Amino acid sequence: MADARAPWFVGWGTLALINAGLAQGKNRSGLLWFLLSLVLGPIATLILVVMPKVRPTLF
């Protein structure tokens, strides 16, 4: 039974890492989005893709 779920855990973890990188590319917290991706999965990816990039502050 555990062997059947192993690919899901690997895929979900890989998606979380990809989302963390995507978040950092948009000037957002990679750790926060990694953790959110563990819970939300593909929904977090969709949210990240739709969200605009954060502009850095001047000061």
Higher pLDDT pick, 25 / 9? 25
Q: How far is CA 28 from the centre of its chain?
A: 11
pLDDT at site 5: 76
Residue 1: pLDDT over 60 = no
27-55 pLDDT, tens digit each: 999 999 999 999 999 999 999 999 998 88
* Identity of residue 23: A
Average pLDDT of the chain is 89
Measured distance CA(8)–CA(4) in Å, rounded: 8
Cβ neighbours of 44 (radius 10 Å):
22
